[in-house]
């Protein structure tokens, strides 16, 4: 493609300034030619190529135009000597294009002055001016372009040479150029450093005179770089050797023929450290993989989208899918809470803060749900950005089963403690029910005679004999007076009502005991906390109602997602302990019964249950340890020390808190707080 010729033009008088663009026939605009009698613009239009003339108003503007990279020629058209001198002075300091001077006349002195200033040519504005100027301009444009292209090529060559020298000097690879007889022609600084020589020492010497013999022999380098080794593979060689200090060294050695001659470029890269690091990385990867595949916990790695990128065998076993099948699956497909997808993993991915651990349900492919304990840690890059998350979890089915068994034993032990009170509470209604039934049996015998008299009267009336009717009526009246029918009827109804009340009381006691002794399921459900507390209190009341006053203050509460059976065990332990503390205080001489108060309310996004008593209280030394397993203040054989410890663990599993306050001799207060929403 032909390049546009651009010319900067400075004239002594320029009626119009600006840019004259190519566009007319011949590639030039001649709109201003009629305003230039000398025809400079018209003459330039005959150059024979597409041209643009950049007309300057003054010498400063012309200097600025000449500095442009795309300007090929500067023309000073009949300028005064001062302007021309200023232009040439500025041009001498620049790599500016050539200059053609147009003079009005052509005395020898004027031309010599122009050449001395630096003009490439001088043209007189004569009759042949329109023919000479295009030829001179085109010649100078070609000369300038040739000069500029040559300078650009030379600069490029110099840059490439500098680049090549920098690469050879700075590259951390030993380089050696060998001739066809395998003698060294040139080496780089890294070669000298690696093999303890100088360029002068290495030049003209054979390869095996400079390199360690062990390296040359093991790599078969003498034969590999010889002229007859053309057929040998050009692939890199990894050569292992031992240096003078007994250290293992590994070199990556490569060769390349240079041009059509017999010279060879030999590169030797010391990769000992890289190979050592690679070997260590491989060992660490195998070590980590062995650990991950051997641990008894399931482990999955998730990306920022919450999708599984890695799963160890235990995770595949728990989730019921192979490790490959798990890859790419969304984590929330398996990890869920009772009220929806778990936020534990999502929170770790969003906030980059690890979760200390929690419990949730694991959803298996068959629809089965398994309780797990899970902890989640963010996977961080070097800059601290979250790349994903690592989740470690374990099947808690067996642990939960053991916990249920322990709780069940605790419940049965509590029922054993309550057995005497429950038996007494049941015996009372059973006793008067039995007595009432015996009395009603006697009443039924008396009523049999009265009913026989009624039957005789009915038969007499049916026969129509007035004498028989009168006798039967008198017999019925006498029978009624004898058994006192009115009293019998009222007393029978009273006995029946009392018996029904007694049976209802027995039914309530049995129902509360059955609910209390029932084993809870694995999953939480919505429960009325007030009902849990009250039904438990009703059972405990059977053993203490003759010596303790029970006060209740229940607030209206929303349902709470919890293990209701476990919470009943907590309330049972606290109520029994409160009763025993009152009994102990009574035995030590107070001589009067005590008071147990139960209250519930909403507080801080949860439910608070408080149980206080007026018993013997807890000493300060014991108060710090009452929630420790197997710690008890009771006599040997009277307690296991597991009641409060178990209760404390149940409350913690619900995400709640359990505290105790007391003073010796002043009673105690236990407070249980349970949140509506558990923190993941």
As a whole-number percent, the residues of the chain with pLDDT over 70 amount to: 79
> Is 640 within a domain?
yes
Same domain assignment for residues 529 and 636: yes
- Out of 18-27, 68-77, 230-239, 312-321, the most confident range is 68-77
326 contacts 346 by C-beta, under 8 angstroms:
no
Chosen domain end from 357, 377, 395? 395
Residue 671: the pLDDT is 94
H, E, C per residue of 38-75: CCHHHHHCCCCCCEEEEEECCHHHHHHHHCCCCCCEEE
Higher pLDDT, residue 571 or 296? 571
pLDDT-derived band at 83 (thresholds 50, 70, 90) equals confident
By three-state DSSP, how is residue 265 classified? strand
Same domain assignment for residues 200 and 136: no
Q: Which of 82-86, 112-116, 350-354, 420-424 has the lowest mean pLDDT?
A: 420-424
> Is 314 within a domain?
yes
DSSP 598-618: EEEEEETTEEEEEEEE-SS--
Mind listing the pLDDT tens digit for each residue in 333-347? 777 654 444 567 777
Cα 113 to chain centroid distance, Å, stands at 81
DSSP 113-154: HHHHHT-SEEEE-STTHHHHHHHHHHHHHHHHHHHHHHHHHH
The closest alpha carbon to 252, from 242, 266, 264, belongs to 266
Residue 117 has pLDDT above 60, yes or no: yes
Chosen domain end from 395, 423, 456? 395
CA–CA distance, 555 with 558 (Å, rounded to integer): 10
Mean pLDDT for the stretch of residues 10-29: 45
Domain containing residue 24: CATH number? 3.40.50.2300
By three-state DSSP, how is residue 519 classified? coil
Burial class (CB in 10 A: 0-12, 13-18, 19+), 637: exposed
> Is 164 within a domain?
no
pLDDT-derived band at 165 (thresholds 50, 70, 90) equals confident
Residue 454: the pLDDT is 79
CA–CA distance, 654 with 563 (Å, rounded to integer): 8
> Is 158 within a domain?
no
Same domain assignment for residues 601 and 639: yes
Residue 19: the pLDDT is 34
β-sheet bridge partners, residue 10: 56, 76
Tokens 């080794």 -> residue: 229
pLDDT-derived band at 390 (thresholds 50, 70, 90) equals confident
Residue 578: the pLDDT is 87
The closest alpha carbon to 275, from 242, 246, 240, belongs to 240
Same domain assignment for residues 634 and 667: yes
Same domain assignment for residues 17 and 144: yes
Same domain assignment for residues 410 and 370: no
By three-state DSSP, how is residue 255 classified? strand
Q: Which of 2-16, 54-68, 171-185, 547-561 has the lowest mean pLDDT?
A: 2-16
Mean pLDDT for the stretch of residues 270-297: 78
36 contacts 100 by C-beta, under 8 angstroms:
no
Same domain assignment for residues 307 and 199: no
Mean pLDDT for the stretch of residues 453-459: 78
Helix axes 397-463, 564-585, angle to 10 degrees: 80
Residue 33 has pLDDT above 80, yes or no: no
CA–CA distance, 529 with 609 (Å, rounded to integer): 9
CA–CA distance, 668 with 613 (Å, rounded to integer): 6
Instruction: Order the strands of the 18-20 sheet from edge to edge.
Output: 18-20, 51-56, 5-11, 73-77, 99-103, 121-124
Residue 600: the pLDDT is 94
Mean pLDDT for the stretch of residues 490-510: 73
β-sheet bridge partners, residue 675: 606
Backbone angles phi, psi at 20, to 5 degrees: -100, 110
501: Cβ–Cβ under 8 A, 6 or more apart, which residues? 429
Higher pLDDT, residue 404 or 266? 266
CA–CA distance, 137 with 123 (Å, rounded to integer): 10
β-sheet bridge partners, residue 253: 237, 268
Q: Tokens at residue 503, please?
A: 């049976």
> Is 380 within a domain?
yes
Q: Can you give the length of the chain in residues?
A: 680
Return mean pLDDT, the chain. 78
Split into its structural domains, the chain has a count of 5
Same domain assignment for residues 453 and 594: no
Residue 367: the pLDDT is 65
Backbone angles phi, psi at 609, to 5 degrees: -120, 120
Helix axes 529-544, 397-463, angle to 10 degrees: 70
CA–CA distance, 148 with 95 (Å, rounded to integer): 9
Chosen domain end from 507, 535, 555? 507
> Is 252 within a domain?
yes
Q: Tokens at residue 445, please?
A: 């015998």
Domain containing residue 375: CATH number? 3.30.450.20
Q: Tokens at residue 551, please?
A: 């006060």
Same domain assignment for residues 46 and 121: yes
Residue 637: the pLDDT is 42
CA–CA distance, 79 with 316 (Å, rounded to integer): 92
CA–CA distance, 198 with 511 (Å, rounded to integer): 101
- Out of 186-200, 272-286, 522-536, the most confident range is 186-200
> Is 458 within a domain?
yes
Q: Which of 118-127, 188-197, 360-369 has the lowest mean pLDDT?
A: 360-369
Helix axes 59-66, 81-92, angle to 10 degrees: 30
Residue 22: the pLDDT is 36
Q: Which of 266-275, 581-590, 601-610 has the lowest mean pLDDT?
A: 581-590
CA–CA distance, 245 with 197 (Å, rounded to integer): 18
> Is 282 within a domain?
no
CA–CA distance, 188 with 215 (Å, rounded to integer): 19
Domain containing residue 612: CATH number? 3.30.565.10
pLDDT-derived band at 280 (thresholds 50, 70, 90) equals confident
Same domain assignment for residues 623 and 637: yes
The closest alpha carbon to 610, from 655, 673, 676, 652, belongs to 673
Higher pLDDT, residue 434 or 147? 147
Higher pLDDT, residue 405 or 201? 201
Cα 677 to chain centroid distance, Å, stands at 22
pLDDT-derived band at 348 (thresholds 50, 70, 90) equals confident
| Ramachandran category for residue 438: left, alpha or beta (phi over 0 → left; psi -120 to 50 → alpha) | alpha
Q: Tokens at residue 344, please?
A: 């534990």
pLDDT-derived band at 275 (thresholds 50, 70, 90) equals confident
Higher pLDDT, residue 35 or 414? 414
Query: Which residues constitute the domain of residue 317?
Result: 295-395
Residue 416: the pLDDT is 60
72 contacts 145 by C-beta, under 8 angstroms:
yes
Same domain assignment for residues 318 and 362: yes
β-sheet bridge partners, residue 548: 594
Residue 20: the pLDDT is 37
Same domain assignment for residues 407 and 388: no
Q: Tokens at residue 311, please?
A: 């799963």
β-sheet bridge partners, residue 76: 10, 101
Residue 555: the pLDDT is 93
Mind listing the pLDDT tens digit for each residue in 146-156? 988 898 899 99
Q: Tokens at residue 254, please?
A: 């490569």
Residue 470 has pLDDT above 80, yes or no: no
CA–CA distance, 97 with 69 (Å, rounded to integer): 9
């Amino acid at each position: 493609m032909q390049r546009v010729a651009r010319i900067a033009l400075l004239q002594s008088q320029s009626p119009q300034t600006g840019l004259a663009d190519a566009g007319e026939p011949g590639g030039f605009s001649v709109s201003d030619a009629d305003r230039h009698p000398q025809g400079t613009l018209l003459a330039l239009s005959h150059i024979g190529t597409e041209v643009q003339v950049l007309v300057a108003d003054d010498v400063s503007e012309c200097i600025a135009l000449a500095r442009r990279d795309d300007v090929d020629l500067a023309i000073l058209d009949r300028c005064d000597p001062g302007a021309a001198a200023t232009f040439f002075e500025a041009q001498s300091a620049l790599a500016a294009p050539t200059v053609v001077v147009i003079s009005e006349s052509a005395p020898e002195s004027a031309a010599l002055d122009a050449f001395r200033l630096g003009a490439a040519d001088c043209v007189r504005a004569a009759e042949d001016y329109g023919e000479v100027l295009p030829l001179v301009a085109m010649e100078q444009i070609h000369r300038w372009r040739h000069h500029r292209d040559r300078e650009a090529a030379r600069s490029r060559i110099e840059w490439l040479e500098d680049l090549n020298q920098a690469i050879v000097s700075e590259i951390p690879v030993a380089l050696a150029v060998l001739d066809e007889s395998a003698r060294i022609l040139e080496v780089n600084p890294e070669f000298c450093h690696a093999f303890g020589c100088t360029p002068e020492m290495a030049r003209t010497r054979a390869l095996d005179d400079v390199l360690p013999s062990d390296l040359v022999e093991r790599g078969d380098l003498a034969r590999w770089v010889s002229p007859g080794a053309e057929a040998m593979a050009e692939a890199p060689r990894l050569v292992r050797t031992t240096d003078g200090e007994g250290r293992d060294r590994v070199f990556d050695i490569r060769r390349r023929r240079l041009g059509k001659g017999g010279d060879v470029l030999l590169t030797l890269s010391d990769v000992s450290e890289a190979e050592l690091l690679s070997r260590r990385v491989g060992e660490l990867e195998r070590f980590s993989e062995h650990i991950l595949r051997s641990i008894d916990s399931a482990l999955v790695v998730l990306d920022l989208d919450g999708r599984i990128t890695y799963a160890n065998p235990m995770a595949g076993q728990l989730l019921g899918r192979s490790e490959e099948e798990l890859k790419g699956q969304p984590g929330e497909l398996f990890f869920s809470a009772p009220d929806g997808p778990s936020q534990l993993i999502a929170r770790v991915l969003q906030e980059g803060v690890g979760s200390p651990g929690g419990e949730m349900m694991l959803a298996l492919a068959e629809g089965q749900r398994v309780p797990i304990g899970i902890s989640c840690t963010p996977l961080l890059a070097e800059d601290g950005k979250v790349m994903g998350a690592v989740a470690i979890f374990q099947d808690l089915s067996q642990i939960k089963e053991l916990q249920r068994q322990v709780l069940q034993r605790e419940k049965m032990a509590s029922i054993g403690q309550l057995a005497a009170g429950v038996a007494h509470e049941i015996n009372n209604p059973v006793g008067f029910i039995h007595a009432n039934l015996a009395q009603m049996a006697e009443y039924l015998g008396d009523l049999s005679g009265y009913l026989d008299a009624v039957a005789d009267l009915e038969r007499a009336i049916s026969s129509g004999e007035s004498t028989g009717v009168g006798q039967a009526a008198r017999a019925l009246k006498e029978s009624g007076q004898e058994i006192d029918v009115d009293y019998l009827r009222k007393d029978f109804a009273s006995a029946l009502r009392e018996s029904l009340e007694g049976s209802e009381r027995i039914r309530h006691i049995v129902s509360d005991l059955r609910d209390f002794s029932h084993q809870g399921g694995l999953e939480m459900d919505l429960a009325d906390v007030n009902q849990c507390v009250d039904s438990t209190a009703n059972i405990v009341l059977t053993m203490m109602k003759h010596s303790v006053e029970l006060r209740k203050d229940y607030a209206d509460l929303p349902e709470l997602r919890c293990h209701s059976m476990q919470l009943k065990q907590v309330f049972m332990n606290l109520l029994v302990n409160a009763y025993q503390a009152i009994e102990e205080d009574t035995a030590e001489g107070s001589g009067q019964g005590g008071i147990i108060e139960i209250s519930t309310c909403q507080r801080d996004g949860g439910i608070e249950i408080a149980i206080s008593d007026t018993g013997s209280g807890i000493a300060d030394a014991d108060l710090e340890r009452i929630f420790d397993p197997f710690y008890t203040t009771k006599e040997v054989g009277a307690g296991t020390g597991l009641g409060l410890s178990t209760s404390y663990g149940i409350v913690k599993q619900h995400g709640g808190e359990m505290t105790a306050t007391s003073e010796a001799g002043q009673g105690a207060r236990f407070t249980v707080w349970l949140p509506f929403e558990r923190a993941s």
